[in-house]
Structure 1
């Protein structure tokens, strides 16, 4: 949360207003939300209708029955009174590593949005309690590795905090007991009431919240990759043929090509009849050292465009997930209906597609970096060494990029694959949304690592005499002066930090 006072408040009159932009801002501590009296009244009316239909003798999964393979066991009144809290206790089987604070807050905010859906039948008091946790910045310790069965395990950890028996994150990111933290924040444990525990455990609010943050992070990263590509292009003096505006097959690729042309020659007037940003660069076609740019340079722009479309696909899937019925059983038309909302198939597929696109960009970045070390292509000292033979230059930096990229390939496998059954066959297919989110997180971190390596090589080349347009050597202020060999890992740490907290 802000140290300069509470963040601005956003009034939510309709559930749709708690969209991915607001959820992302709440997760980062940039905004607070308040639910209007009218919205809470609608939630209360849905709650009353659900309770009326629950009052009969019909079996309702997880409410008056057990769950999973125990769904055939009917619960007596005493067991029903304890069931909703006990759902959290017995399913909080995860452990560290924990989600980061912003990620856990994103989960809570996305969970709040889905609990506002009429099919959930949640109470206004539960919604207010989630808001109180967010306002007090009491952050549940939620395992990153979520196991199977949708998000039951991580959501059980979040729900356990509400009833005062879970763990929360301290400021250092360590897990501590929730009860003292709740008390210190002026909050009391809040037991789950009829059906609320089931509603809290179902759906994919964790993957939804993580995808919201990852999509925003990826958009900033793609901007940085585009700038680094232009800088490498300049160091290599590569042919600008692949940047011709006529090669654009989509609006996304047209934007990428325009940006690359503008970055490489921002002051040149456009060629008459050409797309914006087509000047100067096209006038220099063929001016590079080689007749054709290396393949890695030629195919980077379309690969960036693929990633841009993949980000948009994730954002569209998030929007669908936020408005969908995620509860199971969901209260629909006076009945309790078993659903597929826990699986998150749509969002898992979109997130995995983005992971694959990013891993490919890491491969291309590693290839471009290798070309920068070739003196025959750049006209600079081999390996970008200021003292060839004595100093290794950037060759080992490239080896680091190679190692990172090779590791990333294992995270490109779609998380939809690998269905396994649990609960003695009652649940014969499991979904792995948190695994998809973890793979995407690894892909983002890995691409950023490779990008840092490329930017360091660009900087080294600039110091050794390459002509890099103003503004494209973006790391000069965060790395030491000089071109001699040093512990370049420290430089890379500084660059990665810069990239993480900069959007340009």
Structure 2
């Protein structure tokens, strides 16, 4: 069980909940603070005008709500904003959204009773995912529409996904003996007024981006092996003099992967030889193409971007992103804009640009591998059959190129795409949830591109017959993937194999040795 409420929720604990089915339990002391915060608000608001408790919302805040309509106001807010459209979010992203909202509530600044947190915990631990749609919130005043669909399920309405079926919430709650939320205060506004959708999705994006980067380092290393590249471009000495931490870390990872490769060559042994001076034209390229030689310089910024985005997202998921902020310590209520998602939106844009660049590197390495005029080593499209009659990896290259092109278009930033709405009350918005969902799409696409690259590398290894000269790390990946993707000579449909290899990339842990430099 992961305890929520004992300090910060780190990225690793979040990962355990989302990807490894770890349950959630709530810290008792933190719950007591939540209840104290709720009781303070009840007392404090009895004779004061406080936004969202006895006023309308947004541009309607100038209208006072009568005492006998206060609770109906909260239900109206949830129901009216349950207006999402498009595809349903996958269940693991809905769980991420709920974990993010739960972790904000447990900071005891939202004025909600402890039973709201307990109900969220029940849904998380029972794998009940409210039906939440991709399209809706503009990312300021929070992810209003996405979180309204969460609120709809919490009050026992709408639909949820349970055991891969979309079912009425009332049915599933009855089956699991879960009591819906009965609103008593500002729970409606508290549930929908935050950045938890973009943050939950963003945290998942960070974790998947980390995995993509690890695979890209490994595949780039394997590419250098099979073309028998020189070792100095990923050396410690070359990379340490460029003062960016990501570049040094990528170089260290490549050295760890390739340390026992029998294919990588030493420049001093092969080129720093006086006999070479007698040649007018060198048979070997003196330097490799950039997609092979500049891996540390290309993936280094990707590493640094993922790292910095992870810091920001971890800060956001551990923040109070409600409005107003209920402060029972200082006996006051503070109105502002902690629901604004600019931090997440900007980091998601940076992340998707970085991952798009990673996919471009993969595509260029793939092109080098499949174009015999460039590599002068392999048959066209690493075709192991009869040239002209068979096609090898020619067909799947189209898919990789098309997918990278989509990534490049999706990389236009959402952060600078604010559209005023809500009677111009929301005149500057973050579009943070859009940014996170588009980044997810770029990550999805990039797994597809790396899948095709990996399949092509394996075909090249079999053409060379060099499995026994690969590094230990590369040979291990070769063996594991060949179990689901046997070597082929005759042409056959590859789409099912691509799906299996992609699932392997999504779920397996790539070999990356500990970084010592």
Give me the whole-angstrom Cα distance separating, in 2, the residues matched to 1:126 and 1:293.
Answer: 59
Specify which of 92, 114, 118 is matched with residue 128 of structure 1.
118
Q: CA deviation at 1:17?
A: 4.5
Change (3 A) 1:289 1:478: farther
Secondary structure of the corresponding residue to residue 133 of structure 2: coil
Gaps of 5+ in 2: 273-282, 511-517
Relative to the length of structure 2, the TM-score reads: 0.88
Gaps of 5+ in 1: 1-8, 269-278
Provide Cα deviations, 1:245-297, integer angstroms capped at 9, x if missing partner. Answer: 223233322221122233234268xxxxxxxxxx9656566599422111122
1:67 and 2:57 are equivalent in the alignment: yes
Secondary structure of the corresponding residue to residue 476 of structure 2: coil
Tell me the number of residue pairs that the alignment of Structure 1 and Structure 2 aligns: 483
Specify which of 362, 379, 382 is matched with residue 380 of structure 2.
382
Secondary structure of the corresponding residue to residue 486 of structure 1: coil
Specify which of 312, 315, 318 is matched with residue 320 of structure 1.
315
Change (3 A) 1:77 1:282: farther
Give me the whole-angstrom Cα distance separating, in 1, the residues matched to 2:486 and 2:466.
Answer: 20
Q: What is the aligned partner in structure 1 of residue 301 from structure 2?
A: 306
Change (3 A) 1:107 1:234: same
Contact 2:127 2:162 in 1 (8 A): no
Moved more, 293-302 or 68-77: 293-302
Q: What is the aligned partner in structure 2 of residue 100 from structure 1?
A: 90
Give me the whole-angstrom Cα distance separating, in 1, the residues matched to 2:159 and 2:266.
Answer: 57
Moved more, 206-215 or 154-163: 206-215
Q: What is the aligned partner in structure 2 of residue 459 from structure 1?
A: 458
Q: CA deviation at 1:439?
A: 1.6
Large movers: runs of 4+ above 4 Å: 279-288
Q: What is the aligned partner in structure 1 of residue 422 from structure 2?
A: 423
Q: What is the aligned partner in structure 2 of residue 253 from structure 1?
A: 247
Give me the whole-angstrom Cα distance separating, in 1, the residues matched to 2:175 and 2:269.
Answer: 66
Higher relative contact order (CA 8 A, sep 6+): 2
Specify which of 154, 168, 172 is matched with residue 162 of structure 1.
154
Change (3 A) 1:37 1:241: closer
Give me the whole-angstrom Cα distance separating, in 1, the residues matched to 2:425 and 2:200.
Answer: 28
Q: What is the aligned partner in structure 2 of residue 117 from structure 1?
A: 107
Give me the whole-angstrom Cα distance separating, in 2, the residues matched to 1:234 and 1:21.
Answer: 33
Secondary structure of the corresponding residue to residue 479 of structure 1: coil
Q: What is the aligned partner in structure 2 of residue 89 from structure 1?
A: 79
Change (3 A) 1:110 1:212: same
Contact 1:460 1:483 in 2 (8 A): no
1:366 and 2:363 are equivalent in the alignment: yes
Contact 1:244 1:257 in 2 (8 A): yes
Q: CA deviation at 1:88?
A: 0.8
Secondary structure of the corresponding residue to residue 61 of structure 1: coil
1:489 and 2:495 are equivalent in the alignment: yes
Moved more, 182-191 or 233-242: 233-242
Q: What is the aligned partner in structure 2 of residue 479 from structure 1?
A: 485
